[in-house]
Chains A and B, each alone.
Chain A
Amino acid sequence: MTQRIGVYVCHCGSNINGMVDCENTARWAGERLKDRGVVVARDYKFMCSSPGQEMIQKDIKELGLTRVVVAACSPHLHEQTFRNACARAGLNGYLCELVSIREQVSWVHTDPLAATQKAMALIAGAVERVQYHEPLEPLRVPIHPATLIVGGGVAGIQAALEIADSGTPVYLVEREPSIGGHMAQFDKTFPTLDCSACILTPKMVSVGNHPNITLLSYSEVTNVDGYVGNFTVTVKKKARYLNTDLCNGCGVCQDKCPKKVVDQVFEAGLGYRKAVYKPFPQAVPKYPVIDRENCTYFQKGTCKACEKFCPTGAIDFKQRDETITLQVGNIILATGYDLFDPRRIPQYGYGRLANVFTSLEFERLTNAAGPTGGQVVLRDGVTVPKTVGIIHCVGSRDKRYNNYCSNICCMQSLKFAHLVKEKTGATVYNFYMDIRTAFKDYDEFYQRVLEEGTLFVRGRVAEVTDAARLPGEEGKLIIQAEDTLVGKQRRIPVDMVILSVALEPRRDAKQVAQTFGISCSMNGWFIEKHPKLDPVATMTEGIYIAGCAQGPKDIPAAVAQGAAAAARVIGKIQQREIALEPVRAEIDKEKCSGCRICNNLCPFHAITFIEKQNGSRAYSEVNPALCQGCGTCVAACPAGAIRGTVFSNQQVMAQLTGLLIANGVPITELETIPV
């Protein structure tokens, strides 16, 4: 035993010490592991504090430690702290090993004695393992200055502008023909009642004109390779059937197109568009697209009215989808949300009863640029409702659909109540379970709506029916609910019902998460690195999230996250290069038989095959900049020629040996285990 090892056991206040006897654990390590190289073992209240770190530095210098074991929290949190402390005392940081006795011991166990024994065993494993550590240097790779942003809603727009303004290039990829997202569909925004389009379109125009932003609308990311600083992204640009170099956005094609279809996207199914269309007048970019499924020419072979009338000859029926490849250093995902389909709750009648509307339908109905020019009318297009019921929590806070609170529905419903009152003078009922108006000026808005005379019924609605039963119900929609504050069932006849439907993850969120290598919750919301302290980063370096893709939120929060993600990216770009963990695979050229099994298994395409040259055998080689140290090749190599740094066979077997020693297996027996 040539190494001189220091063991440090952290109490983490009572987080660890409340379950693990830290003092005894340290004493045990000092005594029982002395012959395994431990020269000092200490416990301390907060090892991550400055005095804690200084204690380690002092021991390294004074006792000549050559290896350090710190038993504390998960390496995710403080591995870097202790590596740096070692480095400050002149010891290579990779000669320090962390043992998680908080996340893997004290927080998950209930028996103090067993927990303490487990902590001891884990420390013994680390002591054996750390002997085989070797000094390493992190890999430094340059960061590509360009950034990819996926999703052109308000969160993506904000992030794009922040980064572009800082002077580095941005690619903004948007699936729809125009950027703008859901915010472009809204009429007013709560609580200030600003016109949504009026505050969004200036930002959209800036994106369209910004010299540092390349806008890839009507496009989707199909593949992502590489790692932080050096991503290679494949983007499919769907054919618009129109040459954007020639198109001046005049809109003649749209006027002349004879085919009218229901617009399920921008108008939420409440209005029409043509087969060649731009979704709304302020669309960015200004170019229309031809919807192949509905275009008469594509379906029947004749028409071409758009081509005939286009003054610049921009229509191009022969255009094809195009695939382009981008190099970027960082990625922000701002892919937004979808809405709950209320047909899943048949008792609310959506789809069967004409005058039941979704929240997004109502946004279009009340929008001055919408299908009725902003008139709030029933689905017959003319009748102004005299009574309107707004139902909260449709598909939210319900174990059968979505457990979570959708965050924006209360304020949205209050806004609807205000708009209905303002435009029609109708009697408005809000059916709610709790009113959640927790942010700046929100509760004041609630007060305003109360003052305007909107009525509130506390109770989740049981059903909406057109089956009249009592006088006054004929021809109406009847909302049946318990008024829980009275303790009585009520039937309230109304002309119009608005369902405040839940925000849900995008239907393809799980697939997107897989493409970008990040994780998402059971529901499909993207998961942030830390819910409080790292809310826009993900567990995958170089990939950030913003807006509703991370969870339901309102516009101010989505904008703040877009800006926050941008700040993180700008910070990374300014570092110019990034230090990568030297956890890598290495192939022993002499042992490699050249079988190439590893070549195709590597998920990062990091292994290249070197053909036989005069004199030398063929062999495979690892590109350390691409290798992520996953270990797939190490396990697969039939010749045992591949070694993973930090996870070598020797290190792993030694760690197991330590665990067995702590469990009382005699060392003489262990020595027969091949390492």
Chain B
Amino acid sequence: MKYLIYPGCSLEKGAAGYPYWQSTLAAAQALDIELVEVDDWNCCGATEYIALNRMAAYALIARSLALASKMNGYREMIAPCSACYLNLSKADKYLSEDAPLAAKVNTALAEGGLSYQPGTIKTRHLLDVLVNDVGYAAIAQRVTKPLNGLRIAPYYGCLIGRPAFYGQIDDPEYPTALDKLLKTLGAEVVDYPMKAHCCGGHMTQISESVAFDLIHQLVKGAADYNADLIATVCPMCQLNLDGFQGAMNRYYKTNYQMPVLYFTQMMGLAFGLDAATLGIGAEVVDARPALSRIGVQVPPPAEEPPARKPHKSKEALPMPVMPEEK
């Protein structure tokens, strides 16, 4: 099998979601899937661009779609990030429905020597492709080290299932594809009531109270159900739940230690792949205690950060000083 893939900024080397990329490549290779990256793709605009410029936001997305449509006959493209998946498929839908909008977007694209015929590229989420094209049976065949004994809270977040009318891949309220996948890998799957709730998206940057409330609900929900870890399908969700869990703990005076890993990392482990290859160990909340329950060895944590400030590039801004350092 061969697919076009749009990694998205969060999955790039050096970005927060890089372990998702590493584990996606490893899992795909194990399943004999060849992934071809769209040449010179650009950012999808996340949820921000559309808040300022409608036309430019559509043109931004259309540029990536136009580049994908130039890639030798592909009609489908995988996006592992839920926000990229939503933006790319939603823009294609509205461009298909709204001819004047499509005409203006093409006028803009022409300035960069490009054009895009709406409906040419169907964007699909990685989870959709894995469970529907590859299938649970083929995945089960590849499992060599089942995740027996590991209790996992399957976390879908919002954009993989909502708004469902862009092409429903699962129930928008109570999705089950990831549950079934994790069961296929041998894990014990928690009936996680928060599975499709929101991680807060960009609210960590806008409102502490809203962001920490949502992260708290999700982490508490998984802990209440005695989950060993949360498996996620989106780099934004992973960043919020993992990266901001400590800050949330301080905000609520709690002490949750709920590891958050990508579903592709869980696939890799079940396929018997090496934890380091899958980018495991880069998570902020330590996953080793949970993974040791199934005998997975995780590389030791990196050295303590160097005391000196990292080398600044010309445009980099100063790093904040940690209060504990004082």
Contact = CB atoms under 8 A, between A and B. Distances in A.
A352 interface: yes
B220 interface: yes
Interface in B155-201: 171, 173-174, 191, 193-194
Interface string B52-90: 000000000000000000000000000000000000000
B173 A469 contact: no
B193 A467 contact: yes
B221 interface: yes
A347 B221 CA distance: 16
Nearest to B171: A346
A468 interface: yes
A139 interface: no
A469 B217 contact: yes
A345 B173 contact: yes
Contact of B174 (A347, A467, A469): A347
A347 B194 CA distance: 10
B206 to A, nearest CB: 18
A23 interface: no
B171 A467 contact: no
B224 interface: yes
B221 A467 contact: yes
Given A465-B193, A467-B217, A469-B217, A347 B224 contact: no
Contact count band on A: under 10
Interface string A445-486: 000000000000000000001111100000000000000000
A9 to B, nearest CB: 45
Interface in B201-232: 213, 216-217, 220-221, 224
B313 to A, nearest CB: 42
A468 B221 CA distance: 8
Nearest to A353: B193
A76 B192 CA distance: 60
Count chain A CB atoms within 10 A of each CB in B171, B193, B213, B217 and give the residue with the most: B193
Contacts of A465: 193
Judged by DSSP, the binding face of A is loop
B57 to A, nearest CB: 28
A468 B224 contact: yes
A352 B194 contact: no
Interface in A581-630: none
Given A345-B173, A347-B174, A352 B191 contact: yes
A345 B171 CA distance: 10
A345 B174 CA distance: 9
Interface string A332-359: 0000000000000111000010000000
A379 B171 CA distance: 27
A552 B219 CA distance: 44
Contact of A346 (B174, B194, B213): B174
B224 A467 contact: yes
A562 B310 CA distance: 85
A206 B84 CA distance: 68
Contacts of A345: 173
A673 B194 CA distance: 75
Contacts of A468: 224
B214 to A, nearest CB: 10
A352 B225 CA distance: 14
Contact of A347 (B173, B191, B213, B216): B173
A465 B197 CA distance: 11
B220 A469 contact: yes
B191 A467 contact: no
Interface string B289-304: 0000000000000000
A488 to B, nearest CB: 15
Interface in A256-303: none
Contacts of B174: 346-347
Contacts of A466: 193
B263 to A, nearest CB: 21
Contacts of A467: 193-194, 217, 220-221, 224
Contacts of B173: 345-347
Interface of A: 345-347, 352, 465-469
15 contacts: A345-B173, A346-B171, A346-B173, A346-B174, A347-B173, A347-B174, A465-B193, A466-B193, A467-B194, A467-B220, A467-B221, A467-B224, A468-B224, A469-B216, A469-B220
Identify the 10 closest CB pairs spanning chains A and B, nearest first: A346-B174, A346-B173, A467-B193, A347-B173, A467-B221, A469-B217, A465-B193, A467-B194, A466-B193, A346-B171
Given A467-B193, A469-B217, 9 more contacts: A346-B174, A347-B174, A466-B193, A467-B194, A467-B217, A467-B220, A467-B221, A467-B224, A469-B220
